[in-house]
Amino acid sequence: MRITVIEAGLQTTIQAGARRGMRHLGVPTSGAADALSLALANRLLGNDLLAPALEATLVGPVLGFDASIALALTGGLAKATLNGEPIEFHRTILVSAGDELAIGSVETGTRVYLAFAGGLRASDVLGSVSTYMPARLGGHEGRALVKDDVLHTQRASLVTDSLRTPEAYRPPITSRWAVRACRSAETHLLQEKQRDALVDTHWTIGRRADRMGMQLDGPTLEISSAGRMPSAPVFPGTIQCPEDGSPFILSVDAGTTGGYPRIAQVVRADRHLLGQMRPGDHVRFLPREPPEAIVGLRAMHDYWREWLPGIERVI
Amino acid sequence: MPSGNNAARTIEYCGDDLLSINVASPAEAQALAEQLRASGAWREVVPGIASVVVQFDAIDVTIDAAMRRIADEIKHGIAAVECPDVLLEIPVVYGGDYGPDLDDVCEQTGLSADELIALHTGQEYRVDLVGFTPGFVYVGGLDDLLHVPRRKQPRQHVEAGSVGIADGRTGLYALSGPGGWPLIGRTTFRLFDPQAEEPFPVRAGMRIKFVSISAAEAGL
């Protein structure tokens, strides 16, 4: 089974689960920026929820096939066609030898996930097959796909079930987001008024937005200690505020330590949402106490478990 | 560095699945991180310069239980870790295109470029921390005269091998990517090699000496 890249799209990489337990060596989490959408795509094919799949960014790829295979699309809202005919997201699609699949521009959200029955073959480096481009780890030669690349699935898989994601399990993709966030270790460096501003502002995702992180455009926050501190551990979802007062949120490929104050931390249950935000989107932060956030996480798992058994490994 | 003084070690929330423990020194952070990692109870145990952050699975353990577990672990002090006694020589091409902030640093510190290079190469250092990106090295013990702040806004692109200084430390960029340290030079020393048997040749606790070489000598 060969999948040929006819057009690569803007930034299409192989992503799977996170790289875990390596942050003390500077190795970022990596993995799908929107792990929930990855899991939903794999679910439609009977794959492991975190099986390697394609993550397409803003403009999707065009792919050709030399044999029949089942695939599924989830995530950001985009037009997709098979031999020129529109196809639906959130359902199992069977393609045949000679077919051409095209994913166009993502209109809402940022990332489309395209999973294949059996999962894509990819190189396992430092505990995951997920692509971490800055160090060229994992995925397909550690990089984004280019024209004429050829991909393979891990095994021939005979998917016969045609599934659709139930409506209740299709995550809303929007351009106005609300994410829950807890205080972090340097929240106290913001004066109370500034803490209110962090929560009350409808922030705009800035032009600098990628798998490492996203700039937040809005009011300038005043931070004491000149916005500096000894380098400390940071994680996906950490919101930092440097001296210039423009905060940024870290995402899956962000570095593991940073020297700017950590003013908030997006809660575990909502970190996957960061993977669908794009420049110009609005985002608000809803303050939560850590125990409250964990209650929310449990509720989320309880909700998703019926369709995605093993959701705890995903979110 | 065994230390019985845990009154100074506070544990605080960093998020709904993150707890930070403040420590007195980078070496203590390394030692505490090793100790905590040995228990296998945490998703991530990450040392910083003056703290260690643990990430826990909030489904398996409540935040209070996680906090108690850490408090129990540090109750009897922190066991010292074996530092590998290795002296690494790191060749650096200073200034020019390789150290685009060298002139700026000279202006801030009142040093000439030669004085700066002489100071930077004139002593032995110790690695405080590996982190940020795979193989990024934080080297402690910078001369007081070389203390400059980070850039107000990080650069979007820093070349691999770049050597920066900020807040009393030298930072070695293993990879290209964004970065906030003023850059004074570049090294050809391979700081991270995923294909190698040991992908991370530099570890916390190792000794470091910088050696000034020309771009031609470095093959740049």
pLDDT above 90 for B75: no
Residue-level pLDDT at A226? 65
Residue-level pLDDT at B1? 39
Phi and psi dihedrals of B144, rounded to 5? -50, -35
Q: How many CB atoms lie within 10 A of CB B113?
A: 16
The conformation of residue B121, written as its DSSP 8-state character, comes to H
Is any Cβ of chain A less than 8 angstroms from the Cβ of B141?
Answer: no
Higher pLDDT, B1 or A110: A110
Domain residue extents for chain A: 2-169, 176-313
Residue-level pLDDT at B143? 96
Q: Confirm whether the ipTM is greater than 0.90.
A: yes
Residues of B in contact with A226 (CB under 8 A): 149
Residues of A in contact with B43 (CB under 8 A): 20-21
Residue A313 burial (10 A CB sphere; 0-12, 13-18, 19+)? middle
Domains, chain B, ordered by start: 11-74 (3.30.1360.40), 87-218 (2.40.100.10)
- How many pairs of residues across A and B have Cβ atoms under 8 Å apart? 162
pLDDT above 90 for B35: yes
Residues of A in contact with B192 (CB under 8 A): 26, 135
CATH superfamily of A176-313: Cyclophilin-like (2.40.100.10)
- Are B15 and A290 within 8 A, CB to CB? yes
Residue-level pLDDT at A314? 97
CA dihedral of residues B154, A24, A51, A303 (deg, nearest 10): -90
Task: Characterize A37-74 residue by residue with b for buried, 16 or more Cβ atoms within 10 angstroms of its Cβ, and e for exposed.
Answer: bbbbbbbbbbbebbbbbbbbbbbbbbbbbeeebbbbbb
Q: What single string gives the DSSP state of each residue in B91-107?
A: EEEESGGGSTTHHHHHH
Length of chain A, please?
Answer: 315
Is any Cβ of chain A less than 8 angstroms from the Cβ of B148?
Answer: no
pLDDT above 60 for B7: no
Q: Calculate mean pLDDT across residues B183-187.
A: 98
pLDDT digit string (tens) for B109-119? 999 999 999 99
pLDDT above 60 for B80: yes
How far apart are the CA of B14 and the nearest CA of chain A, in angstroms? Answer: 4
pLDDT above 90 for B37: yes
Which pLDDT band, with edges at 50, 70 and 90, does B8 fall under? Answer: low
Give the chain A residue whose CA is nearest to the CA of B139: A231
Is any Cβ of chain A less than 8 angstroms from the Cβ of B193?
Answer: no
- Are A231 and B129 within 8 A, CB to CB? yes
Residue-level pLDDT at B2? 43
Question: In 3-state terms, what secondary structure has residue B116?
Answer: helix
- Are B131 and A257 within 8 A, CB to CB? yes
Residue-level pLDDT at B6? 47
Closest by Cα among A29, A55, A36 to A115 = A55
Residue-level pLDDT at B73? 87
Distance CA B18, CA A262 (A): 12
pLDDT above 80 for B204: yes
Closest by Cα among A78, A74, A76 to A89 = A74
Closest by Cα among B199, B191, B197, B169 to B181 = B169
pLDDT digit string (tens) for B122-152? 999 999 999 999 999 999 999 999 999 988 8
Below-50 pLDDT ranges, chain A: none
Q: Is the dihedral of CA A284, A287, A291, A295 positive or negative?
A: negative
Closest by Cβ to A26, choosing from B50, B132, B180: B132
Residue A279 burial (10 A CB sphere; 0-12, 13-18, 19+)? middle
- Are A231 and B149 within 8 A, CB to CB? no
Task: Characterize A117-152 residue by residue with b for buried, 16 or more Cβ atoms within 10 angstroms of its Cβ, and e for exposed.
Answer: bbbbbbeebbbbbbbbbbbebbbbebbbbeeebebe
CB contact set of A263 (below 8 Å; sequence gap of 6+): A184, A186, A187, A189, A190, A198, A221, A223, A239, A240, A241, A247
Q: Calculate mean pLDDT across residues B159-171.
A: 95
pTM: 0.93
